[in-house]
């Protein structure tokens, strides 16, 4: 995340936000060490290394400063409907709930539209769920315009840096959801996205596909019919429906785009190709 985009935030907040990737990487490493030491389950250190490669590659791409959403976010910021400073509980609540609502629809779209799935499938490529898998996000998110989903909040009057920071905090919350050893959390399961709900989201079982898209909250899944509770009679199978067994970060980061490119090549006519880009991912 660019420091320039975060300038509306208090200066003391910036170092913490920028240091978060290192903190979560250390936590992921600690999980691997503890699981290895306790021998509760084998830990795939090669998958961990592939995830670190994905993080490094994403940082390298981000350093290019390219973003398909930047012009739209800039235009929305230049012509807002009003100005909404974070000076009240109501404005904080509006930003939080609005971001959760838009994140739900971004995440649902990322699973159902091939153009966005080509990036998002990287996150679902690990065949085991660990804290490290939370960091495997792909390299091309900014290039595909995923931040466009949050432009309405900027147009409404929130500063772009504040909106992007809240999205980043949403993703930070989801980090702990990738710990498969955390049990169900009782009444919290009704409102919050929990590790149990997120295990369902990462499963490739037919019973669990395309479920539980929420970030911090699970309420929009319940409202829009995409909620699925974890079932004791279904053994979760993680990864893609067509598993990816590569440990090569380049292969992991680009396999969705390579498959999309092959399908576009084999599809006749521009209308059919556009339908392919906007359609569901199919076998991935």
Q: Tell me the C-alpha to C-alpha distance, in Å, between residue 100 and each of 94, 166, 193.
A: 10, 9, 11
Mean pLDDT taken over the chain: 91
Q: What is the pLDDT of residues 173-197, one digit of tens each?
A: 999 999 999 999 999 999 999 999 9
Assign 18 a pLDDT band (cuts: 50, 70, 90). low
How far is the C-alpha of 156 from the C-alpha of 76, rounded, in Å? 8
Give the count of beta carbons closer than 10 Å to the beta carbon of residue 156. Answer: 17
Query: Of all helices (H) and strands (E), which one includes residue 14?
Result: helix 13-38
* Mean pLDDT of all residues in 81-110: 95
pLDDT band (50, 70, 90) for residue 106: very high
């Amino acid at each position: 995340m660019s420091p320039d985009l975060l300038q509306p935030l208090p200066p003391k907040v910036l170092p913490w936000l920028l240091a978060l990737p290192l903190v979560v990487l250390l936590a992921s490493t600690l999980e691997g060490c503890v699981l290895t030491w306790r021998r509760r389950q084998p830990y795939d250190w090669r998958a961990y290394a592939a995830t670190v490669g994905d993080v490094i590659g994403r940082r390298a791409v981000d350093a290019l400063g390219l973003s398909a959403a930047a012009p739209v976010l800039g235009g929305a910021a230049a012509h807002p409907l009003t100005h909404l400073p974070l000076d009240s509980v109501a404005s904080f609540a509006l930003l939080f709930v609005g971001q959760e609502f838009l994140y739900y629809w971004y995440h649902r779209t990322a699973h159902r539209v091939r153009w966005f799935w080509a990036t998002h499938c990287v996150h679902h490529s690990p065949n085991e769920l660990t804290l490290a898998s939370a960091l495997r996000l792909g390299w091309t998110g900014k290039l595909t315009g995923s931040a466009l989903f949050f432009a309405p909040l900027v147009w409404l009057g929130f500063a772009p840096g504040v909106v992007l920071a809240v999205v980043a905090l949403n993703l930070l919350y989801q980090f702990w959801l990738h710990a498969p050893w955390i049990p169900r959390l009782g009444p919290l399961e009704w409102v919050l996205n929990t590790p149990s709900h997120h295990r369902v989201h990462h499963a490739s079982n037919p019973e669990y596909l395309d479920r539980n898209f929420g970030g911090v909250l699970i309420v929009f899944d319940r409202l829009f019919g995409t909620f699925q509770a974890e079932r004791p009679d279904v053994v979760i199978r993680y990864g893609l429906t067509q598993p990816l067994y590569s440990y090569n970060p380049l292969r992991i980061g680009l396999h969705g785009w390579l498959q999309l490119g092959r399908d576009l090549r084999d599809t006749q006519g521009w209308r059919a190709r556009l339908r392919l880009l906007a359609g569901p991912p199919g076998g991935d």
